[in-house]
Chain A
Amino acid sequence: MSRFLLTALALCAVSLTNVLGANPATAQKPQPKPTVQAGPVQKEGSVIRVNSTNQVYDFLRPWSKRPPYQLRAVGAVLPGGRVLTTAEQVANSTYLELEKPDSGEKSPATVEVVDFDCNLALIKASDPAFLAPYKPLEVAEPAVGDEVTILQLEANGAVLNTRALLTTAEVGAYPVGELSLMLYRLSSSLQPRDGGFTFPVVKKGALVGMLLRFDNRTQTADAIAAPVIRHFLKAATAKGGYVGFPRAGMGAAPLRDPQLRRYAGLTDGLGGVYVTEVTPGGPAEKAGIQQGDVVVNVAGHEIDRDGNYLDPHYGKIAKAHLYSCVHFSGDKIPVTLMRQGQKVQTELTLAYKDPSESVIEPYTIGKAPRYYILGGLVFQELSRQFLREWGSEWTRKAPEKFLYLDAYQRELFKDDPRQRVVILSNVLPTPCTVGYEDLNCLVVTKINGRVLKSLADIEEALAHPVEGFHHIEFQGHPGEIVIDPAQACGIEDGLVRSYGLPALKRL
């Protein structure tokens, strides 16, 4: 019985895959009889190529960029002459263009909104007429168990439809940002055409997701979920300008252990999660939420012992979906807590947190890294992008002290969350740096006796040499080194010339 049902479902889905396809004859799947064709074939379809030339800064040589590279992706045409693609696709983009799949005609384009938390970007064609022949896609929400279609483009411009089964909807990690948002897990025998995996996912002529990644071994793919796309698009048209996905500013852990439940003052057999962490200055702290509180209800939804609520459409979903996706930055949502057995009612004002507000920036994209070169000593702020320069195994190969500071950055500078970790990243050998050539990757604590709260403080500190010298202090060995200000000044031209530096600082 169940096998029969599945087969029927599959047939139905196959018949729908050509809704957006250009030419049924070129579709590579064995087609069922075209008698169940479910709609008119669009002349130009709803997908378009997005070609981006990207160039990233070299964080080990922060004054220069690495060689540019091209990324090709398939974008979804949306109403209003916009194209949706992934943020990764346009990260550090230096040149962006749209390309018509069949004619190969191209038009320059610009990024209108990009958000690395949800990994989405909205692109606008420079020529509004360029997208006119295309049928824009509306966003719809699929259900778990649905057959959906991943759209790719063949070299000849034909649309390549690949069926996929939406097996799971859950909140999980996204590739760039640190926020956990809803993902669709898909099962599909995809044959990727363009190197990357940025392809629209559709169902019945509506956009239901954007592919994020695909694992050829397990034949599974993750896609950005429709609620995330909806949130992004709605925020993109907000009056006050785009504000990113909000967060609650707290961490919580499951509360299954009966001993821990009794310790937390819970006597009932109900749900709730244990607040393990409250971000200083964040929404939860402002709402009076404390570590050790038990969150039992968020925005009218009961929270179970694992931190899930019952979503009317998706079933059990992590409560982070409520904070970050269902609601918007600035929304006020009621939260019920249990504190030492007493019920506490509070209101959380959700807020977006920019990556630059982190002690160590989780990603630095499309932004030049700051640096300052003194006589050949290269100073920077510690960022995860810097650590990523150690390659795909950076979590093992980057300097261990820096990895530790990054992983446990919330334990740093609790009094002043705006403080940054200033580092001596490298030394360019010059007459000033004789004997210092081997120093690298050190945490700088003070210059001329002044604490550096960020790299922005360096010029002020250097304006006050002590006893005629600049004194640079480090955490631990070698303690302190010294630069002669007059000598550092005197070699600047030579330094710029011999190392081909565009500038000695970028603050």
Chain B
Amino acid sequence: MRLAWIAICLLVTQIPSRAISISEVRKSLVHITTTSQDANYRVPWNPGSVNSGSGTGFIIDGNRILTNAHVVANARYISVERENDPKRYEARVEHVGHDCDLAVLTVSEASFFEGTVALRFTNQIPAIESSVSVYGYPIGGDRLSVTTGVVSRIAFQPYAHSAADSHLAIQTNAAINPGNSGGPVLQEGKVIGIAFQGFNGEVAQNVGYMIPVPVIGRFLKDIEDGHYDRYMDLSITTFDLLNPAQRKSLGLADDGRGVLVGSVIAGGVADGVLKPGDVILSIDGHTVQSDGFVELEGERVEMPEIVERKFKGDSANVHIVRAKETQDVTIHFNQAWPFQIQSNQYEVRPRYILFGGLLFQPVSRNFLEETKLDNLRVRYLYDFYTSDQVFKERPDIIVLSAVLPDPVNTYLGSFRGGIVDKINGVKIRTLDEMAAELAKPAQQYVIEMLGEGRPIVMERAAVEAARERILGHYNVRNEQNLTE
């Protein structure tokens, strides 16, 4: 099931709609060209390589441009063009939601919006098999491209941009190609989605995805207060209660209701409210069926869909069975899940410490994808970071990722890939703590690595003598960066 997801940039216009003509749609479409700079995790003091890409956007109310987050991720310069206007305008990102792959841009030159039309959204999910048209500037030419198809499927899908989030998405057989990303998908003249990803042609044909209106609407509402707070998450796992004996032992009737709370992640919003072994009977009055589905607006949807619609500061009333007694508890969504090492991160500078030529970096998806570091312990701590609550002991999993050879570290190459556990006897939980420990004056720094019976010993005098030599030889700009 690990298919290769490919994020795509798209654009959309539609001919057959009665409510809007192609000339009207042209007034809303924006061709976006982005110059981006991706962080360099192999040489973290370097600024990273500059890339260029293009995608589609469209104008919505309030003189704003809506597009995909991946069209403008890590942008250093964004230029936008309208149909029938040769001028290029500079745009900037006003809000970006990497977990839902959406971004809102603004253009400071007011003349850009003259004569444009803001597209309007439908307020419903389209029917399966209904026709849709995709507008955008995909590969194959410079001018506007339109493709049509039908709604093939509506379901939760992984969002490739963050690689760690799943939301509702609409699948269509209308061609969606690189460059279409961020473009509107219209039905009867109204936006029903934003084209955003598809499959590599070697994997599947005629499978393109759009972000549906509920996800777009949630994003636009979230940023109304001037800040994007991300999706909320219950931070629990649930287990379907289909087994009669298990239902009986939990004191449940044979009524097809309720799911078991399998685990509660420490530090999540449900921590201290729900416990493993609780049975969730309903959320906000919506009955939870024993296969994990709830009924919402006449549709059977998975239980997380209720939480998808929550905003920071909201709460949910949960009706549970605990120790065979029913009770009501309230979950307050006071923060999004704080640890994001398993998501792709954008607009961040790699954190690192270079000490005596030893490069220490916290493990993250960005880091692993670029360095291809592969050892079982790192893999385990990363993959089980949330489910085994690794973050409690190690919010940062600090790896000795590289050794810049120098006389001070001649014999330390075999420690590469190891994880920092203690320095001078002090447990290290974060990169900041490590920096603080290495800043303390000491004769020597004894760095204990997880599971290694032999420490790394660095004598302060030797490290200091090597500093300028290493910085010079390897063209290192800064010895450390502690903030993303």
Taking Cβ atoms with an 8 Å cutoff, the residues of A that contact B are 251, 253-254, 256-257, 259-260, 262-263, 274-277, 291, 400-401, 403-404, 407-408, 411, 432-436, 467-469, 471, 476-484, 487
Contact = CB atoms under 8 A, between A and B. Distances in A.
Contacts of B276: 479-480
B204 to A, nearest CB: 24
Nearest to B412: A257
A429 to B, nearest CB: 12
27 contacts: A251-B453, A253-B453, A256-B411, A259-B457, A259-B459, A260-B455, A260-B457, A262-B457, A263-B457, A274-B454, A276-B452, A407-B376, A432-B245, A435-B241, A435-B246, A469-B249, A471-B249, A476-B388, A478-B237, A478-B260, A478-B262, A478-B263, A480-B260, A480-B276, A482-B243, A482-B248, A484-B248
Given A467-B249, A478-B239, A484-B245, A291 B444 contact: no
Interface string B445-464: 01000011111111100100
B88 interface: no
Contacts of B383: 400
A140 B432 CA distance: 62
A401 B452 CA distance: 20
A259 B263 contact: no
Contacts of A262: 457, 459
- Summarize B's interface: helix, strand, loop or mixed: mixed
A331 B113 CA distance: 90
B384 A482 contact: no
B387 A476 contact: yes
A254 to B, nearest CB: 8
Determine which residue in A433, A434, A435, A483 has the highest number of CB atoms from chain B within 10 A of its CB, and name it: A435
Given A251-B453, A257-B411, A259-B444, A476 B263 contact: yes
Interface in B95-142: none
A480 B262 CA distance: 7
B245 A469 contact: yes
B483 interface: no
B380 A291 contact: no
Interface string B355-378: 000000000000000000000110
A400 B379 contact: yes
A248 B52 CA distance: 60
Contact of A487 (B245, B250, B457, B458): B245
B246 A277 contact: no
Contacts of A259: 444, 457-459, 462
B154 interface: no
A213 to B, nearest CB: 25
A482 B263 contact: no
Contacts of A435: 240-243, 246
Interface in B3-60: none
Question: Which 9 A-B pairs have CB atoms at the shortest separation, nearest pair first?
Answer: A276-B453, A435-B242, A478-B239, A257-B411, A484-B245, A478-B262, A435-B243, A477-B262, A404-B380
A407 B458 CA distance: 28
A408 B376 CA distance: 10
A408 B419 CA distance: 14
B384 A401 contact: yes
Given A263-B457, A274-B454, A401 B243 contact: no
Interface centre among A253, A275, A433, A478 (most CB of B within 10 A): A478
B138 to A, nearest CB: 37
A436 B243 contact: yes
- Chain A CB within 10 Å — which of B453, B457, B458 has the most? B453
A487 B244 CA distance: 11
B388 to A, nearest CB: 7
Nearest to A471: B249
A471 B246 CA distance: 9
Nearest to B246: A482
Contacts of A404: 376-377, 380, 384
Given A259-B457, A407-B376, 18 more contacts: A257-B411, A257-B412, A260-B411, A262-B459, A276-B454, A291-B453, A401-B384, A408-B377, A411-B451, A434-B243, A435-B240, A435-B241, A467-B249, A476-B388, A479-B263, A480-B276, A481-B243, A482-B243
Contacts of B410: 257
A182 to B, nearest CB: 23
Contact of B277 (A251, A277, A479): A479
Contacts of B456: 260
Contacts of A400: 379-380, 383-384
A396 to B, nearest CB: 9
A402 B173 CA distance: 41
B262 A253 contact: no
Nearest to A395: B376
Interface centre among A254, A404, A433 (most CB of B within 10 A): A404
Given A276-B453, A400-B379, A403-B376, A263 B277 contact: no
Interface in B252-299: 260-263, 276-277
Contacts of A403: 376, 380
A373 B458 CA distance: 54
B246 A481 contact: yes
B86 to A, nearest CB: 54
Interface string B407-435: 00011100000000000000000000000
Contact of B242 (A275, A434, A477): A434
Contacts of A483: 245
Contacts of B377: 404, 407-408
Contacts of B444: 259, 263
Contacts of A476: 262-263, 387-388
Contacts of A469: 245, 248-249
A168 to B, nearest CB: 22
B285 to A, nearest CB: 25
A411 B384 CA distance: 17
B380 A257 contact: no
A251 B453 CA distance: 9
Contacts of A481: 239, 243, 246
A482 B277 CA distance: 11
A263 B262 contact: no
A263 B458 CA distance: 10
A262 B384 CA distance: 38
A479 B249 contact: no
Contacts of A479: 239, 260-263, 276-277
Contacts of B244: 434, 484
Contacts of A434: 242-244
Contacts of B388: 476
